Amino acid sequence: MAAVNHDRGEPGRCPAPGHVALNAHLLSPEPGYRNAGVSQYIYALLRTLPAVAADLDLTAYVGAGVVDDFPGWRVCRSGVPGAHPLRRILWEQCVQPALLWRAGIDLLHAPVNVGPLARRCRLVVTVHDLSFLLYPETFRRERRLYQAALARWTARHADRVIAVSESTRRDVIRLFGVPPERVTVVHNGVDAAFRPLDSRKVREFRERRGLPERFLLCVATMEPRKNIPRLLEALARVPEAPPLVICGGRGWYYEAIFATIERLGLRDRVQLAGFIPQAELPLWYNAATWFVYPSLYEGFGLPALEAMACGTPAIVSNASSLPEVVGDAAILVDPLNTEALAATLARALQQPDLADHLRQAGLRRAAGFPWSRSAERTAQVYRAVLEGAGDV
């Protein structure tokens, strides 16, 4: 196992009070589905926490390929690829505990469900969702079993659990048996880059990408929980609908998506754009006529918030956390009811006044979710745990 290279400071130094470490090994330096979701959450913490946690000493453990320095953090590079699950898990469980002790870490933040079984410091864990328990058929067996066992153990033994939504908080309390007072909601945020863009810039982007003037957009990793086959079936029932563009990398069990496109004869009405870099996503949202997100289950549902922040009217699932995130600023629909999804889509396309209303409502709603607020709440959790306090 590769040794950790401490870019700043010595591993045996005397720690400052409140020395917090973040295991950032799931920060992905490569394009693809691993660069979405939890990777963006980790990146946001690395970028925003120093400004609101000047009283804390911050250390980040990152994996192979991550070259950023992240001002305000002492960056320790393990050389372990985050995209290699077995090597990463071995590092987290066998190497990380010794490094934390040697560096004098007071608190470890495990930002994605699982922390080390052995540790001498306090532990905060972020639970993003419990889809591996609620929708086990949508996961590969080995991943489902690992998450079910280790995430449950971590949540029960952590000093504090951060849930990214009230929906996820309820799931953690109900399915993991964690006392309610140890589970704190800290909503995700939306980056300032997601905003309405200049119309000329958006028009040039459409032309450059060969996109039509009107199109539907779905931003989602291609995996079963995103419910894309039902979206395709709904599209087939609305022949007057504009084309559908799906932006997202291939995750797992995505073959049904291609099969549905062929079965319904939708090859000319669906464009699979693949994984889109984060810096380009605002252009896609701005260029779209409607954003459609029929996911079966989300711990938070960041794409819906990003779309609203760009002023794109949205149709989203009424399941799990999504109503909590979008409020009354989007149309909610049953993700299991293909007919209802098709009817909602048809009505929405015929009501330009509704689209205008939702653009304004979405902008107002998204403005309430800045990453700076998420960072502030996360730092409050750290301090409460370090001080042995109760609620935050």
CB 222, CB 257: distance < 8 Å: yes
- How far apart are the C-alpha atoms of 244 and 64, rounded to whole Å? 36
HEC sequence for the chain: CCCCEECCCCCCCCCCCCEEEEEECCCCCCCCHHHCCHHHHHHHHHHHHHHHCCCCEEEEEECCCCCCCCCCCEEEECCCCCCCHHHHHHHHHHHHHHHHHHCCCCEEEECCCCCCCCCCCEEEEEECCCHHHHCHHHCCHHHHHHHHHHHHHHHHHCCEEEECCHHHHHHHHHHHCCCHHHEEECCCCECCCCCCCCHHHHHHHHHHHCCCCCCEEEECCECHHHCHHHHHHHHHCCCCCCCEEEECCECCCCHHHHHHHHHCCCCCCEEEEECCCHHHHHHHHHHCCEEEECCCCCCCCHHHHHHHHCCCCEEEECCCCHHHHHCCCCEEECCCCHHHHHHHHHHHHCCHHHHHHHHHHHHHHHCCCEHHHHHHHHHHHHHHHHCCCCCC
Q: Starting at the earlier edge strand, list the strands of the sheet with 244-247.
A: 270-274, 244-247, 216-219, 290-293, 314-317, 331-333
pTM score: 0.89
Least confident of 205-219, 323-337, 378-392: 378-392
The residue to which tokens 């009217």 are assigned:
313
Question: What is the set of domains in the chain, with CATH numbers?
Answer: 5-189+371-386 (3.40.50.2000), 199-366 (3.40.50.2000)
Q: What integer is the mean pLDDT of 260-283?
A: 94
Q: How high is the pLDDT of residue 390?
A: 53
Does residue 96 have a pLDDT over 90? yes
CA 247 from chain centre, in angstroms, equals 15
CB 171, CB 134: distance < 8 Å: yes
Q: What integer is the mean pLDDT of 36-56?
A: 92
Least confident of 26-35, 213-222, 294-303: 26-35
Q: What is the dihedral of CA 48, 49, 51, 55, to 10 degrees?
A: 180
CB 386, CB 170: distance < 8 Å: no
Q: What integer is the mean pLDDT of 41-46?
A: 95
Q: How high is the pLDDT of residue 391?
A: 55
Q: How high is the pLDDT of residue 290?
A: 98
CB 132, CB 114: distance < 8 Å: no
Does residue 243 have a pLDDT over 80? yes
CB 153, CB 177: distance < 8 Å: no
Q: What integer is the mean pLDDT of 284-298?
A: 97
Q: How high is the pLDDT of residue 223?
A: 86
For the stretch 6-21, pLDDT in tens is 444 334 333 335 999 9
Q: How high is the pLDDT of residue 11?
A: 40
The one-letter amino acid code at 128 reads: H
- How far apart are the C-alpha atoms of 190 and 368, rounded to whole Å? 9
Q: How high is the pLDDT of residue 139?
A: 76
Q: What is the mean pLDDT of the chain?
A: 91
- How far apart are the C-alpha atoms of 371 and 353, rounded to whole Å? 31
Cβ-count burial 83-107 (b if 16+ within 10 Å, e if not)? beeebbeebbeebbbebbeebbbbb
